[in-house]
Chains A and B, each alone.
Chain A
């Protein structure tokens, strides 16, 4: 049988070639850097936290908030958002904010696709799937999609969906009856299943051996891999505690359940990437076309989660024994920004410029890069210094993606030619 990494195109090769050119390359023996994506779905307003704009007459800003700095990071401070202040005071030195990058679309689904892949149309893989595909070891749940979106083309098989209501664990019962079924159907039992899987793997190998050029080999390769994962996943189901995936946590931590599953999967070396979506207060979505003040509640909730995430990463050991914070980069994103001015409903409409924040491993902490002009339009940036500069680059989602790939020891030039990483954001 072909080795998956040689088989799946250039991926194996690029990973190897990469180690030479990427920066910062992981030291010998260290586990792959991992990525936790936290998605604020609906489009946040960066002027509520990341991008103080009080000096710009054209930009409508909160009346009872002020510009402040903590942990080296300039941010918008408000008594309504104690968690934001606490967060920057505690973890600002591990955080790097990027302002004023553009996601060139006006509709949520395309913006999300652009944010996560750098492309507006299908036929490409997102950052999470690409990073997972380049893992240096075979993973059980390469890209664990607890909620949110993933876009894939070549790397479909890297993504493991839990299901919108956490369905996956219901499939992991090798004994007893089929779950979620009207008809009572006893299942065969683990031993019998294992025999069937052994038969299948042997048949897949024989199919692969006789496979003509084309899709057949890829199919055999990936089916074999999937059966191998099925073999192992049932055993790990309890330790990974999938059952808590749709659940909330302590007061105000609505998506703590999936975050905990993700952190757990990292700590057991099961995953390289995971995504969790946070829909804001009462899951009402960040899409504040009216009543922009809800952004304040959404950000407070988001940072409450981030405080808990950082604490967990600092106290949970990874596979090497060191705390996970040494190997996990947290990527905090939203698919669009909101226009500088209030509309007639007291909300703000879609805007192509937005912000993002990286935390933890590999990140140049205590910095905020990028800026908006008087009308909220992002300024060009020198990727190496992070200085605003007319000779710099107009920032797009692809530059952020290139940065993530570089942090993951993947050569961005191979994956997204033309978009260089923002090295200023990298430690």
Chain B
């Protein structure tokens, strides 16, 4: 204890988040593997060899790199993927599809993903451009790409490329994601539902109130409501009102996005200001946010941002994303500490991300021997590469993305393998799983084999420089050459962020030799052997976890 106090006395003032509840049972991972975790989470790529070397030489460098990663342009794309795990907008089908617009089948995937990404891009933009988080519900702009600009009423910057700040030209209210087509296309509604699904989504996503998770029993009717229709009970039965007194007024506030016809592209692309007042009639409830009347969507956005639960929900959402698990009651003190630092920092997302990556839950690589069962079951001390990160890592290493007819094969489930790799599709799978499965192993195997083939063709067959993975060996380097062992060691370090032991090298050499001899020891056998060795490393348990 004395030692600890002394340490704190001379260290710079620690952030409240780090000193808050001491998570004793968690053992931090080593600095180099931590660097790898940070790099994968915040950039979607492996650390470079220079970065690995620097942190190996001086562990303190890891925090400096972390701060650099937080300013890396790739963070935006990573946040899109992390938000998608909870916002569930990257679905494979909407009520309308690519053929409803002036587009072709080749655009199908880009169309689906562009729509689903719109709200997520707005979130990620606010997060990475020094904007206060409240802007996600108050912004008078959205973030769109060329495809969306072509099908929605959007002013997209002249000469723009990819995702750019854009504005809707249909005079819709300034309410950030609450005024984004993408969100309401995902959470669509119908005449029976009357925006209630949408209200439930807003509650869950923005203030972390999950109404549908609570039980609703039609048997628990208040006396006198036997035989009264749902439509009437919802208005008057106190049991139903416990939820619906909050749901109906919010649903009522969303009628600018009401569509008279389902599956109608013209209905769905524009905002309908003149329908805003229909809600009060349809639901018999004036627009309000938990009892406070709101005048339109813009005002709703302001109320959401001013709700005390909004910033806490941001902290919880990001903790879920980076701890790779749902938050639990025991996390409450930590969440509150994260939230207050976030608010004090002007609701800037990098502050929250920085504090979160400081938490023991984030940095844990193991638990102690005597850790309570609940902690060792809960904490994801080893994380699995999901489809999205595997795709960006492989692309960074080899330049190849597994694509087919415009579809990203690790990013869809119509033809591809997102769900088979435990990825969140937002409908069938709504939280990322952290256990290997048969299909996860199959998808990672195919991805590894293809990446290995591409790298070896590039490096050894064509001998193109700069090399991708094999830096020094050639198609004629024998296994006995010291260069050969150095190559294996370098690959091990780069791909796994751990120095190879003699045992590791022996196992790789043996695999190489077995493959070489099995192929008949011909000239091509070197290619076959290296392809197998790379495929093996790309399926190594320490490559596929972080």
Residues on A close to B: CB < 8 A? Answer: 9, 58, 102, 104-107, 109-110, 120-123, 141, 149, 152, 156-157, 159-161, 163-165, 167-168, 171-172, 178, 180-183, 185-188, 191-193, 195-196, 199-200, 202-204, 206-207, 212-216, 218-220, 222-223, 225-227, 229-230, 233, 289, 339, 341, 343, 345, 349-353, 374-375, 377-378, 394
Q: How far does the alpha carbon of A230 sit from the alpha carbon of B436 in the complex, in Å?
A: 12
Tell me the smallest distance from the CB of A363 to a CB of chain B, in Å: 26
Known: A102-B218, A157-B435, A188-B532. A171 touches B417 (CB 8 A): yes
Q: How far does the alpha carbon of A58 sit from the alpha carbon of B226 in the complex, in Å?
A: 11
Asked whether B409 lies within 8 Å of A172 as measured between CB atoms, the reply is: no
Q: How far does the alpha carbon of A214 sit from the alpha carbon of B23 in the complex, in Å?
A: 14
Q: How far does the alpha carbon of A107 sit from the alpha carbon of B243 in the complex, in Å?
A: 14
Asked whether A192 lies within 8 Å of B528 as measured between CB atoms, the reply is: yes
Q: B420 to chain A: which residues have CB within 8 Å?
A: 161, 163, 167-168, 171
Q: Point out the residue from A123, A156, A182 that lies within 8 Å of B433, measured CB to CB.
A: A156
Q: Point out the residue from A104, A213, A233 that lies within 8 Å of B368, measured CB to CB.
A: A213
B505-540 interface code vs A (CB 8 A; 1 in, 0 out): 001101100110011000000001001100110011
B381 CB-CB contact with A under 8 Å: yes
B213 CB-CB contact with A under 8 Å: yes
Tell me the smallest distance from the CB of A9 to a CB of chain B, in Å: 8
Asked whether A192 lies within 8 Å of B217 as measured between CB atoms, the reply is: no
Asked whether A377 lies within 8 Å of B382 as measured between CB atoms, the reply is: no
Asked whether B443 lies within 8 Å of A102 as measured between CB atoms, the reply is: no
B419 CB-CB contact with A under 8 Å: yes
Q: A9 to chain B: which residues have CB within 8 Å?
A: 377
> Given contacts A180-B409, A227-B441, could you give 13 more A-B pairs where the C-beta distance is less than 8 Å?
A157-B436, A171-B439, A171-B446, A181-B409, A182-B404, A196-B535, A200-B540, A214-B366, A225-B436, A350-B192, A350-B230, A352-B218, A377-B221
Most chain A CB within a 10 A radius of its CB, from B190, B379, B419: B419
Q: B430 to chain A: which residues have CB within 8 Å?
A: 122
Asked whether B216 lies within 8 Å of A352 as measured between CB atoms, the reply is: yes
Asked whether B215 lies within 8 Å of A104 as measured between CB atoms, the reply is: yes
B369 CB-CB contact with A under 8 Å: yes
Q: How far does the alpha carbon of A172 sit from the alpha carbon of B368 in the complex, in Å?
A: 40
Known: A168-B439, A212-B366. A107 touches B454 (CB 8 A): no
Asked whether A220 lies within 8 Å of B514 as measured between CB atoms, the reply is: no
B391-430 interface code vs A (CB 8 A; 1 in, 0 out): 0000000001011110001000111110110100000101
B205-227 interface code vs A (CB 8 A; 1 in, 0 out): 00000101111111101000011
Nearest CB in chain B to that of A213: its residue:
B367
Tell me the smallest distance from the CB of A97 to a CB of chain B, in Å: 20
Asked whether B441 lies within 8 Å of A223 as measured between CB atoms, the reply is: yes
Tell me the smallest distance from the CB of B338 to a CB of chain A, in Å: 21
Q: Point out the residue from B227, B380, B539, B541 that lies within 8 Å of A207, measured CB to CB.
A: B541
Most chain A CB within a 10 A radius of its CB, from B197, B382, B402, B440: B382
Asked whether A195 lies within 8 Å of B532 as measured between CB atoms, the reply is: yes
Q: How far does the alpha carbon of A407 sit from the alpha carbon of B108 in the complex, in Å?
A: 46
Asked whether A185 lies within 8 Å of B454 as measured between CB atoms, the reply is: yes
Q: A199 to chain B: which residues have CB within 8 Å?
A: 507-508, 510-511, 536
Asked whether A110 lies within 8 Å of B213 as measured between CB atoms, the reply is: yes
B229 CB-CB contact with A under 8 Å: yes
Known: A185-B453, A196-B539. A222 touches B213 (CB 8 A): no
Q: B191 to chain A: which residues have CB within 8 Å?
A: 289, 345
Q: How far does the alpha carbon of A9 sit from the alpha carbon of B366 in the complex, in Å?
A: 18
Asked whether A163 lies within 8 Å of B417 as measured between CB atoms, the reply is: yes
B545 CB-CB contact with A under 8 Å: yes
Q: How far does the alpha carbon of A199 sit from the alpha carbon of B505 in the complex, in Å?
A: 12
Q: How far does the alpha carbon of A171 sit from the alpha carbon of B377 in the complex, in Å?
A: 32
Q: How far does the alpha carbon of A172 sit from the alpha carbon of B369 in the complex, in Å?
A: 40
B103 CB-CB contact with A under 8 Å: no
Q: How large is the interface on B (under 10, 10 to 19, 20 to 34, 35 or more residues)?
A: 35 or more
Asked whether B532 lies within 8 Å of A219 as measured between CB atoms, the reply is: no
Asked whether B446 lies within 8 Å of A178 as measured between CB atoms, the reply is: yes
Asked whether B210 lies within 8 Å of A187 as measured between CB atoms, the reply is: no
Q: How far does the alpha carbon of A39 sit from the alpha carbon of B442 in the complex, in Å?
A: 27
Tell me the smallest distance from the CB of A232 to a CB of chain B, in Å: 10
B468 CB-CB contact with A under 8 Å: no
Asked whether A105 lies within 8 Å of B215 as measured between CB atoms, the reply is: yes
Known: A202-B507, A212-B366, A375-B226. A226 touches B436 (CB 8 A): yes
Asked whether A394 lies within 8 Å of B219 as measured between CB atoms, the reply is: yes
Asked whether A178 lies within 8 Å of B449 as measured between CB atoms, the reply is: yes
Asked whether B27 lies within 8 Å of A212 as measured between CB atoms, the reply is: yes
Tell me the smallest distance from the CB of A182 to a CB of chain B, in Å: 5
Asked whether B445 lies within 8 Å of A165 as measured between CB atoms, the reply is: no
Q: Point out the residue from A182, A214, A222 that lies within 8 Å of B403, measured CB to CB.
A: A182
Asked whether B216 lies within 8 Å of A216 as measured between CB atoms, the reply is: no
Q: B384 to chain A: which residues have CB within 8 Å?
A: 219
Q: Point out the residue from B200, B230, B376 that lies within 8 Å of A213, measured CB to CB.
A: B376
Q: A289 to chain B: which residues have CB within 8 Å?
A: 190-192
Q: How far does the alpha carbon of A183 sit from the alpha carbon of B402 in the complex, in Å?
A: 8
Q: How far does the alpha carbon of A182 sit from the alpha carbon of B404 in the complex, in Å?
A: 5
Q: B531 to chain A: which residues have CB within 8 Å?
A: 188
Asked whether B413 lies within 8 Å of A215 as measured between CB atoms, the reply is: no
Q: B368 to chain A: which residues have CB within 8 Å?
A: 213
Q: Point out the residue from A123, A156, A195 that lies within 8 Å of B511, measured CB to CB.
A: A195
Asked whether A349 lies within 8 Å of B376 as measured between CB atoms, the reply is: no
Asked whether B441 lies within 8 Å of A230 as measured between CB atoms, the reply is: yes
B11 CB-CB contact with A under 8 Å: no
Q: How far does the alpha carbon of A345 sit from the alpha carbon of B409 in the complex, in Å?
A: 41
Q: How far does the alpha carbon of A213 sit from the alpha carbon of B382 in the complex, in Å?
A: 11
Tell me the smallest distance from the CB of B321 to a CB of chain A, in Å: 15
Q: How far does the alpha carbon of A168 sit from the alpha carbon of B441 in the complex, in Å?
A: 12
Asked whether B540 lies within 8 Å of A203 as measured between CB atoms, the reply is: yes
Most chain B CB within a 10 A radius of its CB, from A110, A159, A223: A223
Q: Point out the residue from A104, A167, A180, A219 that lies within 8 Å of B541, measured CB to CB.
A: A219
Q: How far does the alpha carbon of A226 sit from the alpha carbon of B367 in the complex, in Å?
A: 25
Q: B214 to chain A: which residues have CB within 8 Å?
A: 120
Q: How far does the alpha carbon of A341 sit from the alpha carbon of B92 in the complex, in Å?
A: 35
Tell me the smallest distance from the CB of B503 to a CB of chain A, in Å: 7
Q: Point out the residue from B27, B419, B435 that lies within 8 Å of A161, measured CB to CB.
A: B419
Asked whether B217 lies within 8 Å of A104 as measured between CB atoms, the reply is: yes
Asked whether B536 lies within 8 Å of A220 as measured between CB atoms, the reply is: no
Q: A159 to chain B: which residues have CB within 8 Å?
A: 437
Q: A157 to chain B: which residues have CB within 8 Å?
A: 435-438
Q: How far does the alpha carbon of A109 sit from the alpha carbon of B204 in the complex, in Å?
A: 15
Q: How far does the alpha carbon of A314 sit from the alpha carbon of B221 in the complex, in Å?
A: 45
B81 CB-CB contact with A under 8 Å: no
Q: How far does the alpha carbon of A180 sit from the alpha carbon of B216 in the complex, in Å?
A: 44
Q: How far does the alpha carbon of A239 sit from the alpha carbon of B453 in the complex, in Å?
A: 30
Q: Point out the residue from A104, A178, A229, A375 that lies within 8 Å of B438, measured CB to CB.
A: A229
B241 CB-CB contact with A under 8 Å: no
Q: How far does the alpha carbon of A105 sit from the alpha carbon of B438 in the complex, in Å?
A: 33
B371 CB-CB contact with A under 8 Å: yes
Q: How far does the alpha carbon of A171 sit from the alpha carbon of B413 in the complex, in Å?
A: 14
Nearest CB in chain A to that of B27: its residue:
A212
Q: A374 to chain B: which residues have CB within 8 Å?
A: 226-227
Q: How far does the alpha carbon of A182 sit from the alpha carbon of B430 in the complex, in Å?
A: 29
B365 CB-CB contact with A under 8 Å: yes
Q: B535 to chain A: which residues have CB within 8 Å?
A: 188, 196
Q: A185 to chain B: which residues have CB within 8 Å?
A: 449-450, 453-454
Asked whether B213 lies within 8 Å of A121 as measured between CB atoms, the reply is: yes
Asked whether B436 lies within 8 Å of A223 as measured between CB atoms, the reply is: yes
Asked whether B218 lies within 8 Å of A186 as measured between CB atoms, the reply is: no
Known: A104-B215, A120-B213, A164-B414. A203 touches B541 (CB 8 A): yes
Q: Point out the residue from A105, A160, A163, A229 that lies within 8 Å of B212, measured CB to CB.
A: A105
Known: A178-B446, A199-B536. A215 touches B197 (CB 8 A): no
Nearest CB in chain B to that of A145: its residue:
B428
Known: A165-B415, A199-B511. A178 touches B441 (CB 8 A): no
B72 CB-CB contact with A under 8 Å: no
Q: A172 to chain B: which residues have CB within 8 Å?
A: 442
